[in-house]
Amino acid sequence: MDLAWSDADRAFQDEVQAFLNAELTPDLRRRGKGMTSVYADYDTTLAWQAKLHAKGWVAPAWPVRFGGPGWSAVQRYIWARETARVGAPPMSPMGVGMCGPVLIGHGSPEQQNYFLPRMLNGEHWWCQGYSEPGSGSDLASLQMSAVEDGDDFICNGHKLWTTHANVANWIFCLVRTSRESIPQQGITFLLIDMATPGVEVKPIIMLSGEHIQNDVFFTDVRVPKANVVGKVGEGWTVAKYLMQFERGGGVSSPGLSMRLEKIRAMAFAEDLTLDRSFMSKLAQAQIEIEALEAIELRTMSKLSQGEAPGAESSLLKTVGTELSQKLTELALEAGGLYAVPFQPHLTYAGGPTPGFTPPTDGFGAGPDHAWTVTAKYLNDRAGSIYAGTNEIQRNIMAKAVLGI
């Protein structure tokens, strides 16, 4: 793996910095800085996506023939690092980062021609229909049914923890089209228009007060068979391919590094630099982030050669989310008493905060560096659960890497 930066890479870095300086407005920077969720809210994401689409930079990992920029592994890392450095709002990965690669790898030409351009321009906003009541970590036990009826499937079931289903207009779902002795068989990967009669969305409010997650109910929902990705009954293969991108298709170390620098600045502001125990925790976090960065660069090199991340995606997901949680704990410690007030009106959450009435004066308690830390801490508790629990990821690594 050769990741030495060439003159062309340094020129690309200059181009990225110039673009960000020109297009990342003060409002978008403020929204990125005030984020408390993994993803930005719908309006913020669409505003930023429009600028990226005009430049042709919405989908860093996509091939040129599908509308991507054709960047190398180093260029994608530079992009991730520079956007993290300036606090650009992250893109929701459900379409461009997850369903898009699946359609590129497993979709029909008709599906690629229809869906991929609409992912890029923001016309289609996607959510993921995987988890069900009783089928989270054990996803193969899912029960949502899809029964053949002529050229359609009739779908009935219940998905939950569905991020941004309240604003999405499309959902990719795993559904059961037959019952086999092996539960992973008989599952089909299906694309469903959220406007179809029989689809109902109900909110799930998170610990942080945000409405990001949702229940999605399907009652006699008619879906064309043309919306099957891959083959009927072989959706588990498609899903495993997708989850490699969900868990390890991007890089998190640049964002973690920037967050660590903010916590270090908080430590200076709150006179914690003489607290040897706290500063030791910061140093340990930096070591772990740099180790994660090395693995991410290796994985990006594999992706640039057309390889899927493989078992490393489980490692990246596990280490990345646990490091993120560790940083939220350090931020709470640095914020001290200033982290106590609930102040969502001073942040940019991933969705609305139902039932909260902001104070009429619009002011906040404490310094601005403490406004987001509690909401971020509460939101990040889900990090070791979503995209497959970290316990399951360790099982995958034990089997695929250690052979046990």
Torsion of CA 387, 388, 390, 393, to 10 degrees: -110
Is 125-236's fold the same as 242-400's?
no
Largest CA distance in the chain: 72
**3-class state of residue 349 by DSSP:** coil
Residues 81-126: tens digit of each pLDDT: 999 999 999 888 899 989 999 999 999 999 999 999 999 999 999 9
**3-class state of residue 323 by DSSP:** helix
Instruction: From 99, 177, 93, 174, select the one nearest 139 (Cα to Cα).
Output: 174
Neighbour count for residue 14 (Cβ, 10 Å):
10
Residues 263-321: tens digit of each pLDDT: 999 999 999 989 999 999 999 999 999 999 988 888 777 766 666 666 777 888 899 99
Q: Are 372 and 209 a contacting pair, CB within 8 Å?
A: no
**3-class state of residue 51 by DSSP:** helix
CA 242-52-84 angle, 5° bins: 75
Q: Which of these is catalytic: 82, 210, 234, 246?
A: 246
Q: Token pair 């898009």 is at which residue?
A: 100
**3-class state of residue 361 by DSSP:** coil
Which CATH architecture group holds 125-236? Answer: Beta Barrel (2.40)
Partners of 159 in the beta sheet? 216
Least confident range from 2-11, 166-175, 364-373: namely 2-11
**3-class state of residue 215 by DSSP:** strand
CA distance 233 to 32: 41
Query: Which DSSP symbol is given to 141?
Result: G
Tokens found for residue 80: 């991730």
382 phi and psi, to 5 degrees?
-80, -10
**3-class state of residue 33 by DSSP:** helix
CA 245-31-356 angle, 5° bins: 105
Instruction: Report the amino acid identity of residue 274.
Output: L
Q: Are 91 and 45 a contacting pair, CB within 8 Å?
A: yes
Residues 131-164: tens digit of each pLDDT: 999 888 788 899 999 999 999 999 999 999 999 9
Tokens found for residue 361: 């004066």
5 phi and psi, to 5 degrees?
-80, 130
User: 242-400: which CATH topology?
Assistant: Butyryl-CoA Dehydrogenase, subunit A; domain 3 (1.20.140)
CA distance 358 to 344: 8
251 phi and psi, to 5 degrees?
-130, 140
Q: What is the pLDDT of residue 249?
A: 53
CA distance 299 to 250: 9
20 phi and psi, to 5 degrees?
-65, -40
* High-pLDDT (> 90) share of the chain, %: 64
Who wins on pLDDT, 373 or 309?
373
Instruction: Report the amino acid identity of residue 188.
Output: T
Instruction: From 335, 337, 315, 338, select the one nearest 327 (Cα to Cα).
Output: 335
* Residues with Cβ within 8 Å of residue 97, at least 6 apart in sequence: 61, 91, 245, 246, 249, 250
Q: What is the pLDDT of the chain when averaged over all its residues?
A: 90
Q: Domain ranges for the chain, please list them.
A: 7-93+100-105, 125-236, 242-400
Instruction: From 185, 186, 197, select the one nearest 223 (Cα to Cα).
Output: 197
Who wins on pLDDT, 328 or 61?
328
CA distance 380 to 399: 27
CA distance 71 to 49: 18
The answer to whether residue 246 is catalytic is: yes
Instruction: Report the amino acid identity of residue 68.
Output: G
Q: What is the pLDDT of residue 308?
A: 62
Q: What is the distance in angstroms between the CA of the first residue and the CA of the last residue of the chain?
A: 28
Tokens found for residue 19: 């673009």
Least confident range from 106-115, 169-178, 250-259, 282-291: namely 250-259
Q: Are 397 and 314 a contacting pair, CB within 8 Å?
A: yes
Which CATH number is associated with domain 7-93+100-105? 1.10.540
Residues 345-356: tens digit of each pLDDT: 899 988 999 998
Q: Regarding beta strands 126-129 and 170-176, do their DSSP bridges make them parallel or antiparallel, or are they unpaired?
A: parallel
